[in-house]
Amino acid sequence: MIEFEKRLVAREALKLIGDVKLLGLGSGSTVAIFVEELAKSDKAGKIKVIPSSKQIEEVARNQGLEVIYPDGERPEITVDGADEIDSNLNLLKGGGGALLREKVLAYNSSTYVIIADHTKLVEKLCSKRALPVEVLPYGVSWTLGNLIKRFNCDARIRIKDLSPFITDNGNVIVDINCPPLEDPASMESEVKGVPGVVEVGIFVGLADLVLIARGSEVKVVRQGF
């Protein structure tokens, strides 16, 4: 069912992008499905994409899309996924470790569109998942200790295949097991205030449009509504 919802929402997003010439791509499995749908469509030969990660770049190249890097012109639209979405369209991101580049793309896109299956909806961010934070390897044990002390929560360096997970930017991810967030904006700025923190997986006020699939229906929610 979840795979069905991801494809459904990916197809809806494709209708939305119209004749856009420059498109930003987030990361993750939902965006990968969107890229497959894009590549099959009549838009494929007319569009350039800016990927947010090596993962989605590989998917886009394998599907024959034209890939460019972020310089000069900014994307008209970026399509991205999310790990959690609250009722104010604040997002929790970084499950795949691409949060830093995703935030750069989101900030620099005219329209930032989120596509997700219904399991991503939550009342408060960090209800189901830990908060991902991208951290500089330099002094990482100090930064980890500072985050644990400051937020009085368990926090761990993300491990993949028995080693620290390294982001596309050469950094590590610290996952903070905090309680559900009452105030995502202040949490974002408080975590960013800790030296060594490069970026936080809380996206406040960036999503313009969220498409959520539930069963065979897609709900579209706009910022401000």
Q: Which residues are near ligand 5RP by CB under 6 A? A: 26-30, 80-83, 93-99, 102
* DSSP for residue 130: -
Residue 224: CB minimum distance to ligand 5RP, A: 22
Per the annotation, does 95 bind a ligand? yes
| Closer to ligand 5RP by Cβ: residue 4 or 142 | 4
Helix (H) or strand (E) holding 55: helix 54-62
Per the annotation, does 205 bind a ligand? no
Kindly report the length of the chain: 225
Residue 99: CB minimum distance to ligand 5RP, A: 5
Task: Look up 76 and say whether it is catalytic.
Answer: no
Compute the distance between CA of residue 216 and CA of residue 11 in angstroms, rounded to an integer: 12
| Closer to ligand 5RP by Cβ: residue 150 or 192 | 192
Residue 98: CB minimum distance to ligand 5RP, A: 4
List the structure tokens of 68.
Answer: 């460019």
In the chain, the amino acid numbered 117 is: D
Estimate the share of the chain in helix, then strand, then coil, as percent rounded to the nearest 5: 30, 30, 40
| Closer to ligand 5RP by Cβ: residue 145 or 215 | 215
Single out the catalytic residue among 102, 134, 188, 199.
102
Residue 27: CB minimum distance to ligand 5RP, A: 4
Measured at CB, which residue is nearest to ligand 5RP? 28
> b/e string for 152-166 if b means 16 or more Cβ within 10 A?
eeebebbeeeeeeee
Per the annotation, does 154 bind a ligand? no
211: which strand partners? 115, 220
In the chain, the amino acid numbered 66 is: E
Per the annotation, does 120 bind a ligand? yes
- What residues are designated binding site for substrate? 27-30, 80-83, 93-96, 120
Please identify every residue annotated as catalytic.
102
